[in-house]
């Protein structure tokens, strides 16, 4: 075995040893009966291991490696650099979701993918649930009021309550055997009580929490340059976001004028939201299912990607525990090291206890004009197609290490190329696609400004409300997400623009730089799309190298 292969094998073994829940999500079922160690000592060990492995990968010389191996080495270095930057931030001292989220997702994923017989799944789930109190006690020991911010703590309270309901009331139905169902009910009752107690404790923490969510300019810039291999600093990225926002706004004004005789695209979209949205959550799910199938059929006809045999994307209501913290569609891929090719597209149902007005507001924000672009983003040829291709073709390291700047950038690029090839046939669908894109430009502006310490929570809410006409409750949920997950909100449009830049250079090398995408031979686009998707979820700078060399 070559030295880099040996190093990668040792690194991946350490990854799953640190996180049994990660191992399960990757399809490595031998770890299913254990929950992560979430003690402060465990986080310190993981940071120390990251530093040690970072130096070991960086020490592998170019001369010993081929071109693809150099990308693997540089991927490991970049992602470990990012992990060390995040370690400085000490999210495990700030964010309660580190603890409750690990418990709930660690059980939910077992039954979502069902990679083992039911009796083994139930035994593993019960073993993990039995460790819930220990994990939450570790959270109580680790979280610091001087670092935690009330907004982030309050988000976690809703998730903990949703998680308690899931493990106590919904999880038992995952077992068909009555005896196994009773085992889940008993284990879930104890874990649910622990999560209820946790939510109560978090309420007290929220009252005393006085930390900051500001990630800081230096850290933000280092994530962009060291992890993502991008040329911008945080302020340069913000300038890019502002330019894109103005460019998209001008294009949307022109399109709105053609649709409705007014340049006020906010008014056009608001009217469509109010007048043309599903009237029930069940109808919303069905509409997403219809458009997911239409997007896949379009790819079959157009031939701009290779559709793997046996892949499937289900369209389901969002998990109960996810609804309080994520108000938009989401996706979970098939495990990277399993035989499954089934992905799960989750439609954003309202949280428990939501008023009829809040449910209707969510339905209006998933209007029939916007559902096509979201279906493309989450499924075909967005997240589902890309991550299935990665699962089938990428090297093991590239199936484990990934960045949102490629994953989310790809999904937004998927919307763009589907528009270029004529999938959105009604102008209102194109306007919604552009709205999804300008929203991502706004995210860049707000996320960088917030984490530079130059925009408050209220100013961020006002930006979304005034510049995008976003309802205030939705805007507040968004801003809470940016505070909770620094740098991620910028990944969508930033990554998309980099993929477009790479595509332009790739086509120019083939003498096709001036050809409109609508007129390109589908086989040419298919070669580019298949190639970049099979390379993994690389930082954008490395994805460019993978496609162009150098």
pLDDT single digits (tens) 238-292: 999 999 999 999 999 999 999 999 999 999 999 999 899 999 999 999 999 999 9
Q: Which two tokens stand for residue 60?
A: 């592998």
Residue 321, pLDDT above cutoff 90: no
- Cβ 486 vs Cβ 516: under 8 Å: no
Q: How confident is the model at residue 473 (pLDDT cuts 50, 70, 90)?
A: confident
- Beta-sheet strands, E only, within 211-301: none
- What's the pLDDT at 443? 97
- What's the pLDDT at 135? 98
Tokens 């980099």 found at: 498
Domains in the chain: boundaries: 3-208, 227-548
Put simply, whether the predicted model's pTM sits higher than 0.75 gets the answer yes
3-state secondary structure of 313: strand
**Interval 64-115: pLDDT, tens:** 899 999 999 999 999 999 999 999 999 999 999 999 999 999 999 999 999 9
Q: Which two tokens stand for residue 343?
A: 């992905």
Say which range, 49-53, 307-311, 328-332, 532-536, has the weakest mean pLDDT: 328-332
**Cα–Cα distance for residue pair 446/470, rounded to 1 Å:** 14
Q: By C-alpha distance, which of 100, 85, 103 is closest to 20?
A: 103
Q: Which two tokens stand for residue 495?
A: 């990554």
In sign, the C-alpha dihedral spanning 199, 131, 108, 192 is: negative
Spell out the residues 6+ positions from residue 263 whose beta carbon is closer than 8 angstroms to its own.
Answer: 253, 254, 256, 257
Residues 455-473 have a mean pLDDT of: 91
Alpha helices in 131-233 (DSSP H): 132-142, 150-165, 178-208, 217-222
Q: Tell me: cis bond preceding 381? Omega within 30 of 0 counts.
A: yes
Radius of gyration in angstroms for the set of CA atoms belonging to the chain, rounded to a whole number: 23
Q: Which two tokens stand for residue 356?
A: 């009829």
- What's the pLDDT at 1? 65
Integer angstrom CA distances of residue 282 from 104, 256, 372, 426:
25, 30, 17, 24
Q: By C-alpha distance, which of 225, 229, 305, 232 is closest to 546?
A: 229
The CB density around residue 280, as the number of other CB atoms within 10 Å, is 11
- Cβ 478 vs Cβ 503: under 8 Å: no
Q: Containing H/E element for 314?
A: strand 312-317
Residues 511-540 have a mean pLDDT of: 97
Spell out the residues 6+ positions from residue 122 whose beta carbon is closer than 8 angstroms to its own.
Answer: 175, 180, 183, 184
Residue 211 has φ and ψ, to the nearest 5°, of: -80, -175
Q: How confident is the model at residue 547 (pLDDT cuts 50, 70, 90)?
A: very high
Spell out the residues 6+ positions from residue 64 whose beta carbon is closer than 8 angstroms to its own.
Answer: 2, 3, 4
């Amino acid at each position: 075995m070559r030295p880099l292969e040996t190093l990668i094998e040792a690194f991946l073994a350490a990854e799953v040893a640190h996180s049994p829940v990660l191992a399960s999500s990757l399809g490595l079922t031998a770890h299913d009966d254990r929950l992560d160690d979430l003690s402060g000592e465990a986080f310190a060990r993981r940071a120390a291991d990251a530093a040690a492995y970072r130096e070991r990968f960086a020490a592998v010389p170019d001369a010993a490696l081929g071109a693809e191996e150099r990308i693997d080495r540089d991927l490991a270095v970049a992602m470990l650099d990012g992990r060390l930057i995040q370690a400085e931030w000490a999210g495990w001292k700030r964010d309660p979701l580190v603890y409750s989220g690990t418990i709930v997702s660690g059980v939910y994923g077992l039954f979502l993918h069902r990679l083992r017989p039911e009796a083994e799944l139930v035994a593993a789930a019960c073993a993990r649930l039995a460790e819930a109190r220990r994990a939450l006690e570790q959270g109580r020991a680790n979280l610091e009021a001087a670092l935690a911010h009330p907004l982030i703590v309050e988000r976690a309270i809703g998730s903990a309550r949703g998680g308690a309901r899931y493990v106590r009331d919904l999880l038992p139905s995952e077992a068909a055997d009555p005896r196994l169902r009773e085992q889940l009910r008993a284990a879930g009752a104890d874990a649910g009580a622990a999560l209820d107690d946790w939510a109560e404790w978090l309420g007290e923490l929220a009252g005393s929490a006085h930390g900051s969510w500001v990630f800081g300019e230096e850290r933000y810039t280092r994530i962009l340059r060291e992890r993502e291999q991008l040329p911008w600093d945080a302020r340069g990225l913000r300038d890019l976001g502002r330019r894109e926002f103005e460019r998209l706004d001008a294009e949307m004004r022109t399109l709105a004028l053609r649709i409705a005789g007014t340049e006020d695209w906010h008014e056009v979209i608001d009217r469509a939201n109010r007048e043309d949205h599903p009237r029930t959550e069940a109808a919303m799910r069905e509409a997403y299912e219809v458009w997911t199938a239409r997007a896949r059929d379009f790819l079959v006809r157009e031939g701009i990607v290779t559709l793997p045999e046996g892949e499937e994307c289900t369209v389901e209501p969002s998990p109960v525990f996810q609804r309080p913290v994520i108000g938009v569609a989401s996706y979970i891929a098939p495990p990277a090291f399993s035989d499954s090719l089934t992905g799960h597209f989750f439609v954003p149902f309202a949280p428990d206890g939501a008023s009829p007005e809040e449910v209707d507001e969510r339905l209006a924000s998933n209007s029939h004009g916007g559902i096509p672009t979201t279906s493309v983003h989450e499924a075909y040829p967005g997240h589902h197609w890309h991550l299935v291709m990665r699962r089938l073709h990428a090297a093991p390291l590239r199936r484990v290490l990934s960045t949102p700047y490629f994953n989310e950038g790809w999904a937004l690029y998927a919307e763009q190329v589907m528009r270029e090839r004529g999938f959105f046939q009604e102008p209102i669908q194109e306007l919604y696609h552009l709205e999804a894109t300008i929203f991502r430009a706004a995210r860049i502006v707000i996320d960088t400004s917030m984490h530079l310490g130059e925009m408050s929570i209220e100013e961020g809410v006002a930006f979304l409300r005034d510049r995008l006409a976003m309802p205030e409750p939705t805007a507040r949920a968004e801003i809470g997400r940016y505070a909770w997950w620094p740098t991620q909100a910028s990944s969508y449009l930033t990554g998309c623009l980099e993929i477009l830049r790479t595509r332009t250079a790739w086509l120019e090398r083939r003498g096709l730089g001036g050809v409109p995408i609508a007129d390109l031979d589908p086989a040419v686009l298919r070669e580019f799309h298949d190639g970049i998707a099979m390379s993994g979820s690389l930082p954008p700078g490395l994805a460019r190298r993978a496609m162009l060399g150098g």
